[in-house]
C-alpha cells in the first residue's frame, strides 16, 4: 500500500531536512535523512538523521540531551525537501548556539551563544563530557582551520594514539608529585584526547556509560 512517504524523492538515498522551531519559527539546522531516518522520526516523534561522514543514523540529542520533539513534518512542492517543525529541548548547534545559522557572510555572529554547560549541568557534573564530545564531533565534521582538534583528526589515528599515550604518562608523573592542580590539569588533557579518540573510532559516551553500569 502506497503512503505519503513513497512520494518523497531521495537523491542518492538522502533528502535535506530543514528543522524549524514550531513556536518562534527560527530555522535551527539542516541535516539529511534517509528513508530509515525519516521512518524513525515519524515513529518515535523525535528527529533522526543520517550522518554522511559517519555513515550511520543518529538521533538529535542522544549525547547532549538536546532532543527535538516533532510536531509536524511537511514536504515541498518538488517533494525533495522536508520541513520539520519541532519543540527543542536545547540548542540545535553543537557550538551552543540556538541555531546553526548564527553567522552572516561577514563572519559576524548575529546570535549570542546560548548554552553554558556550567549553568545547565553544574561545573562539576559529568554531563559536561557530553557537551565536549559534541564539540569534538563538530570539529571532526567541519575541520575548521587553526583548530588543534582538526590537526589531530587530519594527522590520523597514529597521532591520536601517540597523544593518548603521552598524556597517560603525564598523568602518572603528575600523580607522583604533591601538586593536585597539576594532576587535575593532566587528567583533563587525557580525558580530552580520549574523547578525540572516541570520536575518531565512533565510540559514544553512552556506550561507555552502559558498559560502566554493567560493571557496577
Residue range(s) defining the domain that contains residue 135: 118-215
CB 54 within 8 A of CB 202: yes
* DSSP code at position 52: T
| Residues 84, 141 within the same domain | no
Q: Is residue 172 part of a domain?
A: yes
State pLDDT tens for residues 105-135: 888 888 766 655 445 444 445 567 877 888 8
Please say which residue of 68, 88, 108 terminates a domain.
88
State pLDDT tens for residues 30-45: 999 999 999 999 999 9
| Residues 126, 207 within the same domain | yes
Backbone angles phi, psi at 85, to 5 degrees: -90, 130
CATH of the domain at 24: 3.10.20.810
Q: Is residue 130 part of a domain?
A: yes
Rounded to an integer, the average pLDDT of 9-14 is: 93
CATH of the domain at 185: 1.10.287.1080
Q: How many structural domains compose the chain?
A: 2
* Range of lowest pLDDT (12-21, 117-126, 142-151, 164-173): 117-126
Rounded to whole angstroms, the Cα distance separating 169 from 175 reads 10
Give the pLDDT band of residue 156 (cuts 50, 70, 90).
very high
Backbone angles phi, psi at 36, to 5 degrees: -65, -40
For the record, the C-alpha cell of 185 comes out as 590539569
Q: Residue with C-alpha cell 546570535?
A: 111
Strands (DSSP E) along the chain, which ranges?
15-21, 27-33, 48-51, 56-59, 68-75, 82-88
Amino acid at each position: 500500500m502506497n503512503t505519503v512517504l513513497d512520494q518523497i524523492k531521495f537523491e542518492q538515498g538522502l533528502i535535506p531536512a530543514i528543522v524549524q522551531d514550531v513556536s518562534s519559527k527560527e530555522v535551527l539546522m539542516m541535516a539529511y535523512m534517509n528513508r530509515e531516518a525519516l521512518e524513525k522520526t515519524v515513529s518515535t516523534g523525535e528527529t533522526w538523521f543520517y550522518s554522511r561522514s559517519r555513515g550511520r543514523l543518529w538521533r538529535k540529542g542522544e549525547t547532549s540531551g538536546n532532543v527535538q520533539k516533532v510536531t509536524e513534518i511537511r514536504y515541498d512542492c518538488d517533494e525533495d525537501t522536508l520541513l520539520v517543525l519541532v519543540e527543542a529541548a536545547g540548542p540545535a548547534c553543537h557550538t551552543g548556539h540556538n541555531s546553526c545559522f548564527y553567522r552572516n557572510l561577514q563572519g559576524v555572529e548575529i546570535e549570542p551563544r546560548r548554552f553554558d554547560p556550567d549553568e545547565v549541568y553544574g561545573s562539576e557534573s559529568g554531563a559536561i563530557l557530553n557537551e565536549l564530545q559534541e564539540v569534538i564531533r563538530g570539529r571532526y565534521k567541519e575541520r575548521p582551520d587553526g583548530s588543534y582538534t582538526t590537526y589531530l583528526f587530519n594527522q590520523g589515528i597514529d597521532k591520536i594514539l601517540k597523544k593518548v599515550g603521552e598524556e597517560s604518562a603525564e598523568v602518572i608523573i603528575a600523580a607522583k608529585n604533591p601538586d593536585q592542580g597539576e594532576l587535575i590539569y593532566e587528567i583533563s588533557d587525557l580525558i580530552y584526547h580520549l574523547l578525540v579518540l572516541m570520536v575518531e573510532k565512533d565510540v559514544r559516551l553512552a556506550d561507555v556509560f552502559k558498559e560502566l553500569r554493567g560493571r557496577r
